[in-house]
Amino acid sequence: MWLEDYKYKQMAYTINKTDGSVVASITDGTVDNTTSVQLFGKSFSGFGEGLNENLVRLLENSASTSQPSAPLKGELWMDTSTNQLKVYDGTSFKPTGGAKSQNTEPTSPSAGDLWHHSDNDQLYVYTGSAFQLVGPVYTAGQTLSGWKIETLASSSGNKVVSSMYAGNTRVAILAKEDFTPSVTQSGFAAIKAGITLNSTLGAVFEGTNTQASQINVTGTTNTSSTVIAGGNFVRADAADTMTGALTIDTDNGLIVGGSQELTVTVSSNDVTVAQTSQDKDLKFTVNDNGTTKTPLTLTGADGGIDMVGDLTITGNLNISGAYNYTSSNIVQHSDTFLKVNAGGSEADAGLIVETSDTDDARMFYDVSENFWSAGHGGTYSQVIRLADAVVDGNSSKEKVLKTTAAGLVTVTNINLAAVGTAITTSNTALVGVPTIGQVATYGLQWGGSLKTVSTSDPSGGSDGDFWFKYEA
């Protein structure tokens, strides 16, 4: 009996894990240190201290800067170097999860571990390969930046909006409808459907846009050579001013007027300026000392040109039709010569005066004869020059005569008709040329009395008289 009891008393403790596997076999009166806690055999003397230390170790989860020796899978360890609770996964101790607050990434993290960045005040999650930011997207130093969902009160009810912040300043509000906040929102007196920018910031959209429904024309300062202020665009709905050249790069050209009366078009590089309204004029005006004058009018009713004022032409004036000068009886030219038939082939040319004849009075240069001619009614004769006259009418018959330097004229014969005066005096200063009849009359006079040639002697007389006696 004693031997049986002794065998029973000498039987070792077999310590099993939760899954049934054996951790250790402990003989009586011994202690096992194969785990991080002491395991006592039966009848081990002084086990009380070790047992209590085991309980304390369990309470503090082996709190130490060094991990427990011989840990079992699932054992907890409070790593006092990181103030982080870790669990043994059969290979190494891993953080048990929860957020670790520090300014550097935790070491040996497990997927799903959270880390609070104490300096930036941001939360990260470990994905299994790296820590990814959960939020907020801005650091504590950056202050509120990014989108924030807010509720704004209005007269038509609360409106849920997304506000965009940058450095704790609201830059824009994204809304689904137009409304006016009932509580003042700085920079947002009214909110439009879409994105409304903060008016106090002068905020603008920067970048490329395919279209816009409106443009702000209050500013004229360009931010670059390719980003042009709205105020520098020409308006189509109001009078506007351009400081640069306007180029219309199309042959359809320019159209002006409520009824599109004026057009400037191009065809085959020819430019046409047109007044398209029927029978209406195209006028050109100037400001003459404060008075508006119209020096040139293209008249639509007759297709003519009306001009008022002086006309100065540098170059040639070519007229294919008639030239009428109706405001005066005299045509004035400041030039010393008036040239006709310029540049043409040789042709009779000169001056025509309108008359009632079938052929007007003319003075012209006859190119076939190489002299000037004049006349009217279709009959014209040479205009004589001094160079055309001769002094010897005997040898150059049918020529116009002129005297010699001595005042002599030579002719073959001459007939005078009632020229000069009758010889009734002895005055030698008279230069009139008498006719033959006048000379014959003189031969019948003496002493102032009419005498007749006869066969009888005259009676009476005065000293110096002479008489002719005719004898049969």
Chain segment 227-257, per-residue pLDDT in tens: 888 888 888 889 999 888 999 999 999 999 9
Say whether pTM exceeds 0.75: no
Gap between the Cα atoms of 46 and 251, Å rounded: 115
3-state secondary structure of 4: helix
Q: pLDDT by residue (tens digit) across 286-328?
A: 999 999 999 999 999 999 999 999 888 898 878 888 777 666 6
Band (pLDDT 50/70/90 cuts) for residue 199 is very high
- Kindly tell me the sign of the dihedral angle through the C-alpha atoms of 17, 18, 19, 20: positive
Name, in order, each residue with C-beta under 8 angstroms of 233's C-beta and a sequence gap of 6 or more: 215, 217
pLDDT at 184: 95
Gap between the Cα atoms of 26 and 35, Å rounded: 13
Gap between the Cα atoms of 94 and 111, Å rounded: 10
pLDDT at 407 exceeding the cut of 80: yes
Among 64-68, 327-331, 416-420, name the most confident range. 64-68
pLDDT at 4: 55
The H or E element that residue 5 is part of is: helix 2-9
Gap between the Cα atoms of 47 and 45, Å rounded: 6
Band (pLDDT 50/70/90 cuts) for residue 425 is low
Q: Could you tell me whether strands 114-117 and 99-102 are parallel, antiparallel, or unpaired per DSSP bridges? A: parallel
The pLDDT of 211-215, averaged and rounded, is 84
The conformation of residue 184, written as its DSSP 8-state character, comes to -
> For residue 152, which of 126, 182, 195 has the smallest C-alpha distance?
182
pLDDT at 168 exceeding the cut of 70: yes
pLDDT at 448 exceeding the cut of 90: no
Among 103-112, 373-382, 425-434, name the most confident range. 373-382
pLDDT at 452 exceeding the cut of 70: no
Q: In this structure, what token pair is assigned to residue 228?
A: 């042009």
Q: In this structure, what token pair is assigned to residue 314?
A: 């540098």
The pLDDT of 142-151, averaged and rounded, is 95
* Whether 198 contacts 170, CB under 8 Å: yes
What percentage of the chain reaches a pLDDT higher than 90? 39
What percentage of the chain reaches a pLDDT higher than 70? 88
Q: pLDDT by residue (tens digit) across 42-54?
A: 888 888 888 888 8
pLDDT at 123: 93
> For residue 416, which of 437, 398, 385 has the smallest C-alpha distance?
437
Phi-psi region of 226 (alpha: psi -120 to 50; beta: other; left: phi over 0): alpha
Q: In this structure, what token pair is assigned to residue 166?
A: 């940058």
The pLDDT of 272-279, averaged and rounded, is 95
Gap between the Cα atoms of 297 and 146, Å rounded: 68
Among 99-108, 290-299, 317-326, 347-356, name the most confident range. 290-299
Q: Could you tell me whether strands 305-307 and 349-353 are parallel, antiparallel, or unpaired per DSSP bridges? A: unpaired
Q: pLDDT by residue (tens digit) across 379-397?
A: 899 898 888 888 888 888 8
Gap between the Cα atoms of 30 and 430, Å rounded: 196
pLDDT at 8 exceeding the cut of 80: no
* Whether 172 contacts 192, CB under 8 Å: no
Q: Is the N-terminal amide bond of 136 cis, ω within 30° of 0?
A: yes
3-state secondary structure of 386: helix
Contacts of residues 74-78 at CB distance under 8 Å and 24 or more positions apart, as own/partner, are 75/36
Q: In this structure, what token pair is assigned to residue 107?
A: 């070491």
Q: In what order do the strands lie in the sheet with 262-267?
A: 254-256, 262-267, 270-275
The conformation of residue 464, written as its DSSP 8-state character, comes to T
* Whether 10 contacts 2, CB under 8 Å: no
> For residue 308, which of 300, 296, 326, 290 has the smallest C-alpha distance?
296
Q: Could you identify the residue written with the tokens 């959960």?
A: 134
pLDDT at 441 exceeding the cut of 80: no
The pLDDT of 399-424, averaged and rounded, is 80
Q: In this structure, what token pair is assigned to residue 461?
A: 């007389």
Q: Could you tell me whether strands 361-366 and 349-353 are parallel, antiparallel, or unpaired per DSSP bridges? A: antiparallel
The pLDDT of 154-174, averaged and rounded, is 96
